[in-house]
Amino acid sequence: MKEKQMGIENIQKKEELEETLCLQNERYNLIKEINQEFVKLFHQGSDVDDSLNHTLERIGKQYALRFVAVLEYGGEKKERTWTNCWSLEKGILTDSGLKHGCSPQLLLPENGTYGQPYCQGREGLFRGSEECSLLFCGREETGEWTDFEKETLQELARMISFLVALRNHKKEEQRQIMDLKRRDPLTGLYMGEAFKSKVKEELKNWREDRDYAIIYTDINDFSYINDNFGYAAGNAILKAFADLIRESENKISCRLYSDLFVTFFWDTDRDTILQKIVNTSLAFSKRQKEIYPSCNIRLTTGIYFMEEKDENLAIAIENANLTRKSIKGNASAFCRVYESKMRIRREEEKQVLAEFQGTLKEGGFQVYVQPKFYLSGFEISGGEALVRWRKKDGRIESPSLFIPILERSGYVVELDFYVYEQVLAYMQSWLEAGKEPPVISVNFSRSHFEREGIYRRIMSLTKAYRIEPRYIEIEITESLFATGYELVKAEMKQLREAGFRVAIDDFGTGYSSLGMLLDIPADIVKIDRSFLNRENHENEKEFIQHMGKLIESVKEEVIFEGIETEEQREFLVDCGFRFGQGFLFDPPMPIQVFQEKYMK
C-alpha cells in the first residue's frame, strides 16, 4: 500500500518535473525566438530602436497585453522616462507620442528594485537592470498571472534591458561620429551649425547668477601672414589660437571659416568674462611674438552679452561681429563690448544698402558742384563734383551719411562712376554749346583700389564722351597712402600720363608725412579744412604758412578747403596762396544751378 502510494507520488513528481521542464523549454524557446527576431530585424538594417519596438509588440501579442513599455532611469538625476512603448490601441508610439501624454498612466512603485518584480493584478513592472525596467499591463480577460508567466516576463525584462543598453551604446557611438563630422578638421573646434545647436542646448541651463557672452574674434592681417609666411604658418597660428581657447572652461567654440572664430562663454559676472578675454588675447599675441618677433600678430574681438536665454542666437552673433568690425582699423583697440547704438547704426546701414540700387536707377543721386576760387579775385578756377541723395520725401542727404556705408559694401564704386558720367555728360553739352568748361574734380573712393583700380574705366568713359582728360581732376583721399599703396600710385601715374590732373584730398587727416608726399604722383594737394580751424593760434598760422609753402615747392597747386570767413581768405592771400574752396565763396549747388551761374 505504502509502496503504491510512493509510486503514485513519484509519478506525480515526475509529471510535475516534466511539466516544469516543458514550461522552461517553452520559455527558453520563446525568449530565443524573440531574440532571433530582434537580431533578424537588426540585421535587415532596421534601426535598433525600431527592432526594440517590434520586440515589445511581439511580447505584447504573445501575452495578450494592453501595452508594454520601457522605462529608463537616465541622466544625472536618474529621471524616469518612457523611451519605448507599444500599445494595443495605438501600436508603436514614437518619441513625440511618448512626450505628448500618450505614455502609460500607471501608478509606479518606488521600490521596483532589480530582481523583485512588482506585479499587481494584470499590471507589472520588472526591473531588467539598474537603468531599465519593463512595464506591462495585461488584458482583463486573460485572468491572473501565473508565477511561471511572471518569471518569464522578468526574464524578458532582462533581455529588453540588454537591448536597451545596446541601443543606447549605438546612439552614443552615432553621437560621437556626428560630433566628429561637425568639427573643423584643422582646429577641432565646432563648425557653424553644430556650434549653434550646442549653444542652444547649453542655453537651456541658463542661470540668473551667471553672465553669458558671444565673442567674435579674428586675427589681424591674417592674409598678410599667409602671403608672407605661407599657408602652413597660417594654419599653425589658427591651431594655436584654437588650443588657447580650449584651455579655458565654460565655453563652446567654433571656427566659422578662415580666421573667424566665435565663442559662447559664461562665467559668474561680466568683469570676469572680460578679464579672461583680455588675458587670452594678450597671451596669444605674446606667444606669437616669440615665434614671429618682427610681427605684431593680434586679435580683434567683439563681445556681446546676452540678456536672456530665449534671445535670437543669430542676431547675438551678428551683434558681436558688428562690434568686432567697429574696431577694425583702430590701432589702439583690440576688443570692444557691444552697445545698442551699434545696432541702430546697423539698421541704418541695411536701409542704405537696400535702397541703393533702386535710387541709382531712378536718378535719386544728384550731382552738386562746389566751385573752387582764386583766393585774390573771387574768380572761379574750377569745381568739385559732390554727390547728394534726394530722398523720396524730398530731403537732401549729405554724403557723410551714406558714402562710408557704401564704401564698406563696395557699392561706392558704382556711385563714383555714376557721378563721373554725369559730369562727363554736362561737359559734353558745354563743349557742344561752344563753351570752355572749367576743370571739374571727381572724388574716387578707396574702395576702387581694393578691386581693380580706376584707370581703365575712367579712360574708356572719358573717350566715350569725347572729353579731353585735361578738363578732369581725380581726387583721391590722403588716408589711402598711410599704408603705402603701390597700386594707387601706379594708377595715379598712368592717369597723369594720360593727361588727367590728380589731387590728394583732405591732406593732413591721414598720417602721411611730407616725405611721403614727394613720392605720391599728384599735381594738386587739397589741405583739409581742419587746418584752417586752428588758424586762431598764432604759431598754428605760422605752421600753415610753412607747410603750404613746402607743399607748393613740390606740387603744382595747393588748395585750401573750408574757407568760411573773410579773415581766413585774407590770411591765405597774405601767405601767398592762390586757390581755395569754401562757403565764403559758394557752397555746393546742383550742377544745373552751377551751369546757370557759371557757364553763361
CA dihedral 39, 42, 45, 47 (to 10 degrees): 180
CB of 471 or CB of 507, closer to ligand C2E:
507
Scanning residues 521 to 580, which ones bind ligand C2E (CB under 6 A)?
529, 561-564
Position 399 contacts ligand C2E (CB under 6 A): yes
Scanning residues 174 to 213, which ones bind Mg ion (CB under 5 A)?
none
**DSSP label at residue 470:** G
**Binding letters toward ligand C2E, positions 417-446, x by CB under 6 A:** --x-----------------------x-x-
Q: Is the alpha carbon torsion for 595, 597, 599, 600 positive or negative?
A: positive
CB of 505 or CB of 557, closer to Mg ion:
505
Position 505 contacts Mg ion (CB under 5 A): yes
Q: Which of 123, 267, 473, 505 binds ligand C2E (CB under 6 A)?
A: 505
Is 407:444 a contact under the CB 8 Å cutoff?
no
Surface-to-core class of residue 111, CB atoms within 10 Å of its CB (0-12 exposed, 13-18 middle, 19+ buried): exposed
Distance of CA 225 to the CA centre of its chain: 22
Position 583 contacts ligand C2E (CB under 6 A): yes
Instruction: Classify 127 in phi/psi space as left (phi over 0), alpha (psi -120 to 50) or beta.
Output: beta
Position 398 contacts ligand C2E (CB under 6 A): yes
Q: Which of 245, 273, 386, 476 binds ligand C2E (CB under 6 A)?
A: 386
Scanning residues 7 to 26, which ones bind ligand C2E (CB under 6 A)?
none
Is 69:82 a contact under the CB 8 Å cutoff?
yes
Q: Which of 443, 445, 581, 595 binds Mg ion (CB under 5 A)?
A: 443
In what helix (H) or strand (E) does residue 364 lie, and over which residues does it extend? Answer: none
d(CA 151, CA 156): 9
The total of other beta-carbon atoms located within 10 Å of residue 513's CB is: 10
Scanning residues 289 to 318, which ones bind Mg ion (CB under 5 A)?
none
Q: Which does 583 bind (CB under 5 to 8 A by kind): Mg ion, ligand C2E, none?
A: ligand C2E
Give which of 445, 428, 446 is closest to 437, Cα–Cα.
428
Number of residues lying near ligand C2E (CB under 6 A)? 24
Q: Which of 123, 475, 478, 557 binds Mg ion (CB under 5 A)?
A: 475
CB of 259 or CB of 416, closer to ligand C2E:
416
**DSSP label at residue 211:** E
CB of 259 or CB of 506, closer to ligand C2E:
506
Give which of 71, 55, 158, 140 is closest to 106, Cα–Cα.
71
Position 330 contacts ligand C2E (CB under 6 A): no
Position 372 contacts ligand C2E (CB under 6 A): no
d(CA 286, CA 244): 12
CB of 123 or CB of 505, closer to ligand C2E:
505
Position 412 contacts ligand C2E (CB under 6 A): yes
The pair phi, psi for residue 266, each rounded to 5°, is -135, 150
d(CA 579, CA 373): 6
CB of 216 or CB of 420, closer to Mg ion:
420
The total of other beta-carbon atoms located within 10 Å of residue 202's CB is: 16
Least gap, CB of 476 to Mg ion (angstroms): 9
Binding site for Mg ion (CB under 5 A): 443, 475, 505-506, 561
Residues near ligand C2E, by CB under 6 A = 370, 386-387, 398-400, 403, 412, 416, 419, 443, 445, 475, 505-506, 529, 561-564, 581-583, 588
